Chains A and B, each alone.
Chain A
Amino acid sequence: MADQQEKSTVAKSGAPVIGPGHTFGTITDKISSIVLTRPVTNGWVVGFAACFMATMMLLYALAYLFVKGVGVWGINIPIGWGFAIVNFVWWIGIGHAGTLISAILLLLRQSWRNSINRFAEAMTLFAVACAGVFPAVHTGRPWLDYWMFPYPNTMKYWPQFRSPLIWDVFAVSTYFTVSLLFWFIGLIPDLATLRDRATNKYAQMIYGLLAMGWRGSARHWARYEKAYLLLAGLATPLVLSVHTVVSFDFAVGIVPGWHTTIFPPYFVAGAIYSGFAMVLMLAIPIRKIYNLEDFITDRHLQNSAKVMLATGWIVAYGYAVEAFMGWYGGNRYDQTLLWNRLHGPYAFWYYMLILCNIAIPQLLWIRKMRTSPVWLFFISFVILTGMWLERFVIVVISLARDFLPSSWGMYYPTRWDWMTYFGTIGMFLMAMFLFVRILPMISIFEMRTLLPEAEVKAE
C-alpha cells in the first residue's frame, strides 16, 4: 500500500489541489462547520422549497399514472419506450461520473479527486434513484415489479435470463447497492469526526450511531483502506458494465440504429460525459455558496473540463461510426434510418444534438473557458441537454420508422411525461439540498492526507 504516500507526493508536485495555509484543524473545521454550525439561510430554504414542490409534482404525476395507466403518456405503438427510457438512460449515465471519480480516479492515484468524490458519489446515488423510477413505472403495473427478481413463488415462474431487460435489473440494482456501500464506507471516519465535534445531543447520537464507534485505530485503518481499495477495484468494472448492459437493451434488439456493436463503449463514454457535466453544474454553485474555492480549486474545474472534452470526442466518434456504418453496411433499413435522422421528421433534434454534444463543447479547447466557472456552467448545461437529446434520438427516431411504412408513427410527449421528467430533476436537487446540510460534502479525512504534514518521513 505505497499508494497513499505516492498520492500525497503527486498532489504536492502538481498545481494546487488545496488552497495554501491549511492544517488538519482548519480542514476539519471548515468542512464540518457547514453541517454543524452554519445557520440555515433563506437561499437554502427557497431552493429546497422549490425542489420539494417539484418532487410533489412528480408524486402527483405518478399517482395519476397509477390510476389511469401508461396511456396518459405519449407512448403508443410503434413508440412504446418514449420518455421513460430516454430519462432512465439519461439519469443512469449521469450517475456514472460519481463512480468514475471515486473508484477509477482512486485506482489511477489522481488525488485531486479527494475533494469532489463525496458529493459526486451522492450525485450517483440520487441519479440512480431517479433513473430507477422510470423503468419501474414504465412496466405499467409497478406493484408487480418484484416479479423481475428471481424468488420462489406459487406461480411456478422464473425470470428469463436470456433477456437484456433482466440483465438490466441485476446491473442497476447491483450498481445502486455497491455505490451506496462505497459512499457509506467513505463516510464512516467523517461521521466520527462529526460525532466528536457536534454539540447538539441528538446530532451526537445520530452521528455516533452512524459512525459505529469508529476511533481511527491503526488496525482499523489498515483493513479500511484495503476494503476501500477493493471496493474501488470492484466498482470500476461494475460502472463500465452498467451502461454496457443499458446499451444491450438496445443493441441486442434488431431495430435499425440500435443493432450495433459500437453501442457499449459509446454509451459508457456518453455516460461519463454527461456525468462530469452534472458534477460541474453542482460543484460550481456549491463552491461559490459555501466558499469552498480552497478545496474545489480551478484545477478541479479544469480537469473535469478536460475529461468532458476527451469523452465528448469518443461520443463524436460514436456518431461518426454510426453514420458511416449506416451508409457502408449496405443494409437498406440502416440506410433509411440514417437518411431519416438527417432529413426525417425529427431531423431538427438530430442537428440540435450535434450542436450541443459536438460543436459547442469544442469551446473547452480554449483555456479561458476551462477556467471560467460561468462558461463551464453554461457548457455543462448544453452537454446535459445534448446527452438527453442523444437518447431521444436513439429511442424515438429508430422506433418511429421501422421496417414497414404501414407501422410508422410519431411520438408526442404529454404534460404527464414532462411533469415526471422535471419532477425527477426536482427530487434529485432536493436530495442534494438535504445532503449538503446533513453530511460532510467533502471527504474530510481524505483531504487531510493531501497536506504535506500527513506524510511520514523515512527514518
Chain B
Amino acid sequence: MKTLPIYGTMAEFASAHDLVAAARRTYEAGYRKIDAYSPFPVEELAEAIGFHKNYVPLVTLIGAITGGTLGYLMQYWIAVIDYPINVGGRPYHSWPSFIIVTFEMTILFGAISAVLGMLALNGLPMPYHPVFHVPRFALATKDRFFLIIFATDPKYDAQATRQFLESLEPRSISEVPS
C-alpha cells in the first residue's frame, strides 16, 4: 500500500439510527472500504457496511473440537498406554470416567479460541490507529456515532467524498490524517 497523506474522511452522527441510514447510503453509493463506529453494538451496522463473513464461530468450533479430542486422547494415552493402573480389575479404557475432563477441555479450548480468535480477527491489540487523531472521536466510546470512508477506496476523492458525506447531513466532518 502506498503511503497516503490522508487516511480517510470521517462523519459524525447523533444517533445509531442516523448512522445506519448513512452507512447504507454510502454502501449504495458504491463505497466499499468504509467502517462505522458506535459506543455499543448495533447489529444492523455490520450488515450496512457490507460485513458478512464472521469467522468467530468457526474458530471457536475448531478450538472446542481440538480441546475435546486432545483431552480424551491424553487420558487414553495416560490411563491405557503410559501409566496403566489396575483398580479392582476394572478396564484400563474406562471411558465413562474420562467424560468430565474431556468436557472441561472442550469448554476451555473453545472459550480461549473464541476470545483469542475474536481479538486476532479484529486485529487487536492495536493501541495506535489513525482514527484516534480526530479529537471528537473520543466520543465514539460515549454517545456519538462515526462513519469513515477510507482513502484506499477506489472511489475515494477528497473533494467528492466530502461532498457526498455532507449530503448525509452529519453533525460534523473531519479529515483523518494517516
Give A236 to B44 CA distance when docked, in angstroms. Answer: 27
Residue contact A162 to B51, C-beta cutoff 8 Å: no
**Which residues in B have their C-beta under 8 angstroms from that of A237?**
103, 107
Residue contact B129 to A227, C-beta cutoff 8 Å: no
Residues of B in contact with A, size category: 35 or more
**Which residues in B have their C-beta under 8 angstroms from that of A181?**
111-112, 115
Interface class of chain B by DSSP? helix
Judged by a CB distance under 8 angstroms, whether A313 is at the interface is no
Residue contact A220 to B45, C-beta cutoff 8 Å: no
Instruction: Please count how many residues in chain A sit with their CB below 8 Å of the partner chain's CB atoms.
Output: 70
Find B124's partner among A28, A184, A213, A234 (CB 8 Å cutoff): A213
**Which residues in A have their C-beta under 8 angstroms from that of B48?**
218
**Which residues in B have their C-beta under 8 angstroms from that of A159?**
78
| A-B CB contact pairs (8 Å), 8 listed | A184-B115, A214-B141, A215-B132, A217-B36, A219-B46, A231-B115, A453-B16, A456-B42
Q: How far is the CB of A210 from chain B (nearest CB, A)?
A: 9
Q: How far is the CB of B78 from chain A (nearest CB, A)?
A: 4
Find A234's partner among B36, B107, B138 (CB 8 Å cutoff): B107
Find A215's partner among B43, B118, B131 (CB 8 Å cutoff): B131
Residue contact A218 to B39, C-beta cutoff 8 Å: no
Find B43's partner among A5, A28, A230, A241 (CB 8 Å cutoff): A5
Give residues 217-242 of A contacting B (CB, 8 Å). 217-227, 230-231, 234-235, 237-238, 241
Interface class of chain A by DSSP? helix
CB within 8 Å for A178 and B79 given contacts A213-B125, A446-B40, A457-B17:
no
Residue contact B15 to A217, C-beta cutoff 8 Å: no
Contact with B along A9-28 (1 / 0, CB 8 A): 00000000000000111001
**Which residues in B have their C-beta under 8 angstroms from that of A2?**
43
**Which residues in A have their C-beta under 8 angstroms from that of B74?**
150
Residue contact B35 to A459, C-beta cutoff 8 Å: no
Q: How far is the CB of A159 from chain B (nearest CB, A)?
A: 8
Give A428 to B137 CA distance when docked, in angstroms. Answer: 38
Residue contact B21 to A226, C-beta cutoff 8 Å: no
Residue contact A193 to B104, C-beta cutoff 8 Å: no
Residue contact B97 to A162, C-beta cutoff 8 Å: yes
Judged by a CB distance under 8 angstroms, whether B177 is at the interface is no
Residue contact A455 to B16, C-beta cutoff 8 Å: yes
**Which residues in B have their C-beta under 8 angstroms from that of A221?**
38, 40-42, 45-46
**Which residues in A have their C-beta under 8 angstroms from that of B21?**
459
Judged by a CB distance under 8 angstroms, whether B29 is at the interface is no
B contact set with A: CB distance below 8 Å: 15-17, 20-21, 23-24, 35-46, 48-49, 51, 54-57, 60, 64, 74-75, 78-79, 82-83, 85, 87, 90, 94, 97-98, 100-101, 103-105, 107-108, 110-112, 114-115, 117-119, 121-122, 124-129, 131-132, 137-143
CB within 8 Å for A212 and B125 given contacts A25-B143, A196-B142, A219-B46:
yes
**What is the chain A residue whose CB lies nearest that of B34?**
A218
Residue contact A160 to B101, C-beta cutoff 8 Å: no
Q: How far is the CB of B50 from chain A (nearest CB, A)?
A: 10
Find B51's partner among A195, A219, A224, A227 (CB 8 Å cutoff): A219
Residue contact B111 to A162, C-beta cutoff 8 Å: no
Residue contact B108 to A223, C-beta cutoff 8 Å: no
Residue contact A456 to B108, C-beta cutoff 8 Å: no
Judged by a CB distance under 8 angstroms, whether A208 is at the interface is yes
Q: Give me the 6 closest cross-chain CB pairs, A-B, nearest first.
A: A212-B125, A24-B143, A227-B118, A222-B46, A213-B126, A218-B45
Give A174 to B111 CA distance when docked, in angstroms. Answer: 10
Residue contact B15 to A453, C-beta cutoff 8 Å: yes
Find A170's partner among B40, B64, B100, B124 (CB 8 Å cutoff): B100
**Which residues in A have their C-beta under 8 angstroms from that of B20?**
456
**Which residues in B have their C-beta under 8 angstroms from that of A222?**
41, 43, 45-46, 51, 54
Q: How far is the CB of A367 from chain B (nearest CB, A)?
A: 34
Judged by a CB distance under 8 angstroms, whether A333 is at the interface is no
Q: How far is the CB of A247 from chain B (nearest CB, A)?
A: 12
Q: How far is the CB of A115 from chain B (nearest CB, A)?
A: 14
Residue contact A224 to B114, C-beta cutoff 8 Å: no
**What is the chain A residue whose CB lies nearest that of B44?**
A456
Q: How far is the CB of A42 from chain B (nearest CB, A)?
A: 31
Find B49's partner among A161, A170, A218 (CB 8 Å cutoff): A218
CB within 8 Å for A193 and B141 given contacts A217-B37, A218-B46, A222-B54:
yes
